[in-house]
């Protein structure tokens, strides 16, 4: 017990160190902890609510109704107690008077949903939809269509009465953000004549399977899935369906994870600095313990355990702070979630956080312990500065666990080896770039001969002489500023890309489900309005049967928490049908990145196989390359083609674009529907045209691109808000690191300060010297971080997003101003005690 | 500059105990003279030196330096006075570790905003025999060399008074002799008043006057 008492009293005598260490560690860990809790809350919610979200235990879904053989396979595998209900979902335009809107139609049977509820006002049962030709609508449709309960809506070729408004729908999901939902019965949908060959529709059968465990449901899913030959048929349990629906949420949490990791890393820089000083001070104590009979290793272990205890305590504090900040994170995440996320804090997550915290603490402490272990006793007793001679390799090895932990956490947070590695490399690269910048600035500072005051001259000199502390403070702040700035920069670019001005080439309306026989009719309608149909593109549904004669493998369809995003994407792409198209020449939004564009027209007399051009990322996901022979199934007719090029597609053009393009003339006879766009229109013109098209050709669906962009911008804003909040936390960590460094610097230089006082330097000059130092660090850190964020956003926009780059100067300017003003204040707070050091104590030192 | 110390007293409070570090100390030293202050550990030597340097204020008495009673001076004024008129040599040298020898010596000149400071500093470094070490850091020099730099720093701004707190205490015999000889020579040459705290009775006899302290009081 005396051992513990001694350890505790030692810490009490180093209160400032202990507090700064705790603050740095807990702040750094808080965002990481909050995110772990958020992920756990999401997982728990998925597990508890997924049945209600799906409305069933199990489901089968496809773009076509299952054929007899497929139905047989399903029935054969299902247990006897399974209850079934059919659902068809599609998109369509609906009109009421002069107004029209795109809606998501969900046609159900009276048994839907098996779980959860659709609460309506006035209160109705699903059977009501069966018995009457009526619909339930989402509340926003009342406004969009200027309608009331009891009014009639024209859907397809029929009129339906609005029987009720949906107040609560546990089966809502992210797709209802794109278009509000209407519920009707399956019979009603048939009467609308909306669902035709090639129409965009999803045929699902949902099952209630009582007394089946999760493992049994997963096993059933895999069983049926393997037996079905058609890739397009999706088989899912309630849990896998919910996980799939929340892809956007997953991406958000991936990025939040990166920022939290960055905060942690920045905090680690501060902790390293604090530890270095603390253990350096304790080296004499270690030597004394050694003299009293403790082995050096035991003495060092004593301090290691002490620090371990502080780290654990810091991790515990971070947990509490994380719980406090969790509601804000939840709110931000809710906008992209398919269901209400329930806050959940459990012991497993708690344990994981504490483990990460203490493991991370160990990695930080290790290099310093190596220093102590290998320092000769004479050096420890004299408290001399330690040298790196002869322990270079040991030190390098000591840093590896920390670097490895950071790398592994990056992969874990990104759920992707590729992206995690890129992040790690970028983080290290940014650090090196910033280090280079600081080296350059310090080299320039060394050359400055003139200074406006003595304090400024001393400040410049100290900055250039004490490079390690200068660079550490600079790096911590600059990285924090970089993260805080890059999020709004990227957001500004995304928004700028999406919200292009009216003179841009973005369409006003996007039409789909145009039947071949309707082309003339729609051309006529548009001609009367003096409007042209643009980018008219055929869409042919197909399945990929073979690649180079080998059957195309289905994805496993089974995701676990260990799946990477690449694996999830690949599996998803393997388990779907494809939309093929053909065109005589490339669209303006496409460029050939590999190979050569197919000749204009396919001539079956001269060529054996039509040429295919694939979108490059699509090809990459499915491991397809130039030269591959692909066999597609188009309504049971196999069609072969040869991949001769890969394309780069600018998806933000909102023009019809396809992953797979066949050579023009090769698929003329295939059954198809058409997509097209209409260029920028004034609002009234747009509404008028929409109404005319819907009245004449009710099966054609129309997306209002302007409204879609508004919704996307809103989503981006919401996601950006969450990312921004995390980034601000990052800069807060940067400030605590600066505070730690400032305080540490003063402590290390107490004697210097006392000496200056003894030599006759005024308190004002000494204070000014330190304030100047840290203000200069803050200013250049903010400048460097801001510039790096601009560069980062440029790279992101140009190379990753393939868009125009929009320069946002406000946030970087604010960062530079804010940090430059805040640094003097922080320095003053951090240095007060040190500056009060009595010069006379210099005389008592022996 | 003459120094007259009159009935100086300083008491420290530690928890509930009063410690009389100095009691009724009076002496006088004329301009250009040297005084050694000798006594055992705890006799009040350090306290007396810190009072004379103006690093703290006495509870009673006066310290006249020239015409000025520094005991009653406010801290700001005292700092300015110390910058201009006093030089201090510490036992542990207390050089700035990240500054070169030249830069350490320049510090008092910078504080006093004296022109041609570099030339003055170099000249003094030359006097102490370290002109070739002007651009070396303290850790690159021996203890004796560091103390010589400290002496140069204490004298570079031509102070009226130099206070030396056991300047040879951390050095071996040979280096200690070199350092003390240098200190005496420089102060005599510039008619600087020297107050030297020491344990060494032999060294004390090198000064013109000696003050014995015992338990905070003067011993006759």
User: Predicted ipTM?
Assistant: 0.80
- Which of A758, A764, A846 best tests the B interface by mutation, with the highest count of B CBs <10 A? A758
Distance CA A832, CA A722 (A): 36
Would you state the structure tokens that stand for residue A150, as one six-digit string? 């009891």
DSSP A628-655: -EEEEEETTEEEEEEEEEEEEE-GGG-S
| Beta strands in A97-191, from DSSP E residues, in sequence order | 99-108, 118-121, 134-137, 152-155, 158-169, 181-185
* Per-residue confidence band for A502, with pLDDT thresholds at 50, 70 and 90: very low
Looking at the partner chain, which of B79, B91, B153 has a beta carbon nearest the beta carbon of A762? B79
How confident is residue A646, by pLDDT bands cut at 50, 70 and 90?
very high
Q: Would you say A278 and A24 are in contact if contact means Cβ atoms under 8 Å apart? A: no
End-to-end CA distance of chain B: 25
A714 vs A702, more confident: A702
pLDDT band at A35 (very low <50, low <70, confident <90, very high): confident
A319 three-state secondary structure:
helix
Contact yes or no for B169 and A846 at CB 8 A: yes
- CB contacts of A385 in chain B (<8 Å) are 139
Please say whether the beta carbons of A5 and A220 come within 8 A: no
* DSSP-assigned beta bridge partners for residue A728: none
Residue A468, chain B, CB below 8 Å: the answer is: no
Q: Does A840 touch chain B (CB under 8 A)?
A: yes
CA distances from A5 to A8, A11, A313 (A): 5, 10, 17
Instruction: Examine the pLDDT at B109 and tell me if it is beyond 70.
Output: yes
Quick one: closest CA in B to A844, which residue?
B46
CB contact under 8 A, A759 and B50: no
Distance from CA of A334 to the nearest CA of B (A): 55
* Confidence at B116, pLDDT banded by 50, 70, 90: confident
Minimum CA–CA partner of B109 in chain A: A759
Kindly report the number of other CB atoms within 10 A of residue A537's CB atom: 23
pLDDT of residue A575: 59
Local structure of residue B218 (DSSP, 8 states): E
Q: Return the percentage of chain A with pLDDT > 90, whole number.
A: 17
Average pLDDT, whole number, for chain A? 81
Distance CA B44, CA B46 (A): 6
| CB pair distance less than 8 Å for B111 and A457 | no
Interval B51-69 mean pLDDT: 90
Q: Which band of pLDDT confidence, cut at 50, 70 and 90, is reported for residue A846?
A: very low
Q: Return the closest-CA partner of residue B210 out of B1, B14, B35.
A: B35
Report whether A693 contacts A700 (CB < 8 A): yes
Please report the DSSP string for A354-370 in residue order. HHHHHHHHHHHHHHHHH
Of A469-478, A518-527, B198-207, least confident by mean pLDDT is A469-478
| C-alpha span between B114 and B157 (Å, rounded) | 8
Mean pLDDT on A133-146: 90
Inform me whether the C-beta atom of residue B158 falls under 8 Å from chain A C-beta atoms: no
pLDDT-derived band at A173, boundaries 50, 70, 90? low
Least confident of A202-206, A481-485, A556-560, B79-83: A556-560
pLDDT digits (tens, 9 = 90+) for A393-406: 777 788 888 889 88
Residue A473 has pLDDT above 90, yes or no: no
Sign of the alpha-carbon torsion through A641, A642, A644, A645: positive
A247-291 and A417-447 are packed helices; what angle lies between their axes, rounded to 10 degrees?
A: 60
Contacts of A757 in chain B (CB under 8 A): 55, 79
The Cα–Cα gap between A640 and B95 comes to: 84
Q: Which of B12, B37, B50 is the mutation pick for testing A, counting most A CBs within 10 A?
A: B50
d(CA A188, CA A92): 14
How many other β-carbons are positioned within 10 Å of the β-carbon of residue A466? 17
Q: Which of B84, B100, B105, B107 to mutate to test the interface with A (most CBs of A within 10 A)?
A: B107
Q: Average pLDDT of A803-831?
A: 78
Average pLDDT over every residue of A788-811: 75
| pLDDT of A734 over the 50 cut | yes
pLDDT band per the 50, 70, 90 thresholds, residue A74: very high
- DSSP codes of every residue in A264-310: HHHHHHHHHHHHHHHHHHHHHHHHHHHHTT--HHHHHHHHHHHHHHH
pLDDT of A797 > 80? The answer is no
- Measured N-to-C along each axis, helices A15-54 and A347-374 cross at an angle, to the nearest 10 degrees, of 150
Name the CA dihedral angle for A614, A618, A621, A625, rounded to a multiple of 10 degrees: 10
| Owner of token pair 């659709």 | A118
Confidence category of residue A293, pLDDT binned at 50, 70, 90: low
> Cα–Cα distance between B21 and A707 in angstroms, integer?
84
A758, A762, A844: residue with CB nearest B76: A762
Q: Which of A465, A759, A761 to mutate to test the interface with B (most CBs of B within 10 A)?
A: A759
Assign A10 to helix, strand or coil.
Answer: helix
Residue A335: which pLDDT band, with cuts at 50, 70 and 90? low
* B139–A760 C-beta distance less than 8 A: no
Is B149 in the A-facing interface, judged by CB distances under 8 Å? no
Cβ contacts of B110 on chain A, cutoff 8 Å = 454, 457
pLDDT tops 70 at residue A290: no
C-alpha span between A107 and A607 (Å, rounded): 46
Note whether B96 contacts A: Cβ–Cβ < 8 A: yes
What is the residue whose two structure tokens read 């302007």?
Answer: A706
pLDDT in the model for residue A843:
59
Q: Provide the pLDDT for residue A379.
A: 59
pLDDT tens per residue across span B3-47: 999 999 998 887 778 888 899 999 999 999 999 999 888 888 888
Which neighbouring-strand residues pair with A616? none
Q: What is the pLDDT of residues A225-243, one digit of tens each?
A: 888 877 778 898 988 887 7
Antiparallel, parallel or unpaired: β B209-214 and B217-219? antiparallel
The rounded distance, in Å, linking the Cα atoms of B189 and A577 is 101
Give the pairing of strands A181-185 and A99-108.
Answer: parallel
Distance CA A115, CA A129 (A): 18
Q: Which of A26-40, A85-99, B161-175 has the lowest mean pLDDT?
A: A26-40
Report the residue from B55, B112, B139 with minimal CB separation from A758: B55
Given the DSSP bridges, would you call strands A234-237 and A201-208 parallel, antiparallel or unpaired? unpaired
- β-strand partners of A641: A630
Check whether A682 has a pLDDT greater than 70. yes
Nearest to A358 by CA among A400, A404, A313: A313
On chain A, the residues whose CB falls within 8 A of the CB of B46 are 843-844
Whether residue A200 is predicted with pLDDT greater than 60 in this model: the reply is: yes
**What does pTM read for this prediction?**
0.72
Q: Is the pLDDT of residue A321 over 80?
A: yes
The answer to whether residue B135 scores a pLDDT higher than 80 is yes
pLDDT band at B208 (very low <50, low <70, confident <90, very high): very high
CA–CA dist A182, A52 (Å, integer): 18
CA dist A773 and A60 (Å) reads: 66
| Residue A503 predicted with pLDDT over 60 | no
> Is A782 within 8 Å of A807 (Cβ atoms)?
no
Q: How confident is the model at residue A826 (pLDDT cuts 50, 70, 90)?
A: confident
Residues of A in contact with B139 (CB under 8 A): 385
Q: What is the pLDDT of residue A496?
A: 67
Which of A185, A102, A188 is CA-nearest to residue A145? A102
To the nearest whole Å, the CA of B160 is away from the closest chain A CA by: 14
Calculated CA dihedral for residues B200, B205, B209, B214, nearest 10 degrees: 30
Identify the helix (H) or strand (E) that includes residue A88. strand A83-96
Render pLDDT for A573-617 as a digit per residue (tens, 0 to 9): 665 678 899 888 888 888 898 898 777 777 777 768 889 999 988
- CA dist B77 → A840, B62, B74, B159, B193 (Å): 17, 16, 6, 16, 21
Q: What value does the mean pLDDT take over residues A637-658?
A: 85
- The Cα-based distances of A596 to A247, A591, A639, A647 in angstroms read 34, 10, 21, 9
Q: Which helix (H) or strand (E) holds A580?
A: strand A578-583
Please give the average per-residue pLDDT across A739-758, as a whole number. 75
- Backbone torsion region of residue A582, taken as left when φ is above 0, otherwise alpha when ψ lies between -120 and 50, otherwise beta: beta
CA A623 to chain B, closest CA, distance in angstroms equals 59
- For position B4, what pLDDT does the model report? 95
Q: Tokens for A81?
A: 């107690």
Instruction: List the single range of A382-386, A521-525, B81-85, B180-184 with lowest mean pLDDT.
Output: A382-386
Q: Which pLDDT does position B65 carry in this prediction?
A: 92
For residue A164, give the nearest of A198, A192, A125 by alpha carbon: A125
Contact present, A835 and A829 (Cβ < 8 Å)? no
CA distance A526 to A514: 14
Do A7 and A302 meet the contact criterion of CB atoms below 8 Å apart?
yes
Nearest residue in chain B measured CA to CA from A467: B98
The stretch B213-220 carries a mean pLDDT of 84
- How sure is the predictor about B125, in pLDDT bands with cuts at 50, 70 and 90? very high
Strands annotated E in A429-567 = 509-515, 533-547, 550-551
Strands (E) located in A109-230: 118-121, 134-137, 152-155, 158-169, 181-185, 201-208
> Quick check: B196 pLDDT over 90?
yes
Interatomic CA distance for residues A815 and A401, integer angstroms: 34
% of chain A beyond a pLDDT of 70 = 83
Dihedral, CA of residue A764, residue A766, residue A772 and residue A778, to nearest 10: -120
Tokens in use for A224? 């049926």
State the Cα–Cα distance between residues A603 and A601, nearest whole angstrom. 6
β-strand A550-551 against B161-165: which pairing, if any? unpaired
Could you give the CA distance from residue A427 to residue A409 in angstroms, rounded to a whole number?
A: 13
């Amino acid at each position: 017990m005396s051992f513990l008492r001694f350890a505790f009293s030692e810490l009490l005598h180093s209160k400032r160190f202990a507090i700064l260490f705790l603050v740095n560690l807990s702040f750094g860990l808080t965002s990481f902890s909050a995110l772990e809790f958020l992920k756990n809350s999401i997982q728990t919610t998925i597990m508890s609510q997924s049945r209600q979200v799906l409305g069933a235990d199990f489901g089968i879904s496809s773009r076509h109704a299952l054929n007899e053989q497929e139905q047989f396979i399903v029935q054969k595998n299902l247990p006897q107690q399974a209850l079934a209900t059919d659902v068809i979902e599609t998109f369509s335009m609906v009109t009421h008077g002069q107004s029209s809107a795109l809606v998501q139609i969900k046609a159900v049977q009276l048994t839907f949903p098996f779980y959860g509820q659709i609460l309506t006002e006035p209160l109705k049962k699903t059977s009501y939809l069966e018995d009457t030709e009526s619909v339930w609508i989402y509340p926003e449709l009342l406004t969009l269509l200027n309608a009331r309960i009891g009014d009639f809506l024209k859907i397809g070729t029929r009129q339906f009465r609005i029987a009720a408004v949906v107040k609560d729908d546990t089966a809502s999901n992210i797709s209802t953000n794109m278009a509000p939902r209407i519920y009707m019965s399956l019979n009603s949908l048939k009467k609308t004549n909306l669902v035709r060959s090639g129409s965009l529709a999803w045929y699902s059968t949902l099952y209630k399977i009582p007394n089946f465990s999760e493992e049994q449901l997963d096993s059933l899913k895999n069983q049926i899935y393997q037996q079905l030959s058609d890739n397009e048929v999706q088989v899912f349990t309630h849990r896998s369906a919910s996980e799939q629906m929340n892809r956007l949420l997953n991406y958000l949490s991936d990025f939040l994870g990166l920022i939290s990791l960055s905060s942690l890393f920045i905090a680690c820089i501060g902790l390293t600095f604090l530890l270095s000083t603390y253990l350096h001070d304790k080296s004499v104590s270690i030597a004394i313990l050694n003299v009293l009979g403790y082995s050096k290793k035991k003495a060092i272990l004593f301090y290691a355990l002490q620090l371990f205890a502080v780290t654990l305590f810091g991790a515990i504090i971070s947990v509490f702070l994380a719980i406090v900040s969790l509601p804000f994170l939840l709110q931000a995440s809710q906008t992209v979630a398919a269901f209400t996320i329930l806050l959940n804090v459990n012991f497993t997550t708690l344990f994981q956080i504490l483990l990460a915290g203490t493991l991370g603490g160990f990695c930080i402490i290790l290099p310093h312990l190596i220093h102590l272990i290998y320092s000769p006793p004479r050096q420890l007793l004299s408290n001399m500065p330690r040298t790196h001679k002869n322990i270079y390799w040991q030190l390098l090895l000591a840093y590896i666990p920390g670097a490895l932990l950071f790398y592994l956490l990056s992969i874990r947070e990104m759920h992707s080896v590729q992206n995690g590695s890129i992040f790690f490399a970028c983080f290290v690269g940014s650090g090196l770039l910033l280090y280079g910048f600081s080296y350059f600035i310090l080299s320039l500072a060394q050359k400055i001969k003139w200074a406006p005051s003595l304090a400024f001259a001393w400040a410049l000199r100290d900055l250039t002489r004490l490079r390690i502390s200068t660079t550490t403070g600079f790096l911590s702040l600059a990285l924090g500023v970089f993260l805080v700035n890059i999020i709004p920069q990227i957001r500004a670019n995304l928004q700028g890309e999406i919200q292009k001005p009216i003179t841009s080439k973005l369409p006003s309306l996007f039409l789909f489900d145009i039947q071949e026989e309707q082309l003339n009719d729609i051309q006529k309608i548009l001609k009367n309005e003096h409007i042209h149909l643009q980018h008219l593109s055929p869409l042919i549904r197909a399945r990929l049967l073979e690649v180079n004669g080998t059957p195309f493998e289905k994805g496993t369809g089974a995701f676990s928490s260990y799946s990477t995003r690449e694996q999830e994407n690949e599996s998803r792409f393997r388990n779907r049908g494809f939309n093929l198209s053909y065109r005589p020449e490339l669209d303006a939004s496409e460029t050939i990145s590999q190979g050569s564009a197919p000749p204009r027209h396919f001539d079956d007399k001269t060529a054996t196989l039509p040429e295919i051009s694939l979108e490059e990322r699509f090809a990459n996901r499915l491991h397809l390359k130039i030269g591959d022979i692909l066999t597609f199934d188009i309504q049971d007719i196999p069609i072969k083609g040869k991949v001769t090029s890969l394309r780069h597609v600018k998806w933000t053009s909102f023009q019809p674009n396809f992953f797979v393009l066949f050579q023009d003339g090769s698929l003329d006879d295939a059954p198809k529907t058409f997509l097209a766009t209409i260029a920028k229109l004034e609002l009234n013109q747009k509404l008028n045209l929409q109404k005319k098209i819907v009245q004449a050709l009710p099966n054609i669906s129309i997306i209002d691109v302007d409204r879609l962009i508004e919704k996307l911008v809103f989503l981006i804003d919401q996601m950006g808000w969450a990312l921004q909040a995390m980034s601000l936390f990052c800069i807060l960590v940067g400030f605590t690191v600066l505070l730690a460094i400032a305080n540490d610097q003063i402590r290390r230089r107490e004697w210097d300060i006392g000496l200056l006082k003894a030599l006759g330097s005024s308190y004002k000059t000494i204070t000014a010297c330190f304030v100047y130092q840290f203000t200069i660090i803050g200013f250049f850190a903010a400048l460097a971080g801001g510039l790096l964020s601009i560069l980062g956003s440029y790279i992101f926009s140009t190379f990753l997003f393939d868009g125009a780059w929009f320069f946002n100067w406000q946030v970087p300017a604010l960062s530079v101003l804010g940090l430059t003003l805040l640094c003097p204040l922080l320095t003053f707070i951090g240095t007060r005690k040190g500056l009060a050091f009595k010069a006379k104590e210099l005389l008592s030192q022996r | 500059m003459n120094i007259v110390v009159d009935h100086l007293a300083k008491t420290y409070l530690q928890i509930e105990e009063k410690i009389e570090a100095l009691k009724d100390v009076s002496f006088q030293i004329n301009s250009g003279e040297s005084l050694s202050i000798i006594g055992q550990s705890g006799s009040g030597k350090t306290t007396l030196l810190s009072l004379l340097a103006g690093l703290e204020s006495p509870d009673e008495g006066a310290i006249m330096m020239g015409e000025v009673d520094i005991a009653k001076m406010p801290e700001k004024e005292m700092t300015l006075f110390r910058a201009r008129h006093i030089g201090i040599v510490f036992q542990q040298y207390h050089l700035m570790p990240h500054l070169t020898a030249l830069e350490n010596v320049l510090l008092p000149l910078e504080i006093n905003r004296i022109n041609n400071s570099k030339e003055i500093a170099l000249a003094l470094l030359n006097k102490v025999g370290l002109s070739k070490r002007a651009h070396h850091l303290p850790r690159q020099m021996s203890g004796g060399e560091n103390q010589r730099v400290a002496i140069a720093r204490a004298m570079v701004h031509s102070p009226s008074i130099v206070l030396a707190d056991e300047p040879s205490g951390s050095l071996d015999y040979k280096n200690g002799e070199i350092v003390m000889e240098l200190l005496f020579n420089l102060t005599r040459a510039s008619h600087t008043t020297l107050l030297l705290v020491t344990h060494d009775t032999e060294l004390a006899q090198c000064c013109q006057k000696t003050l014995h302290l015992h338990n905070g009081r003067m011993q006759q």
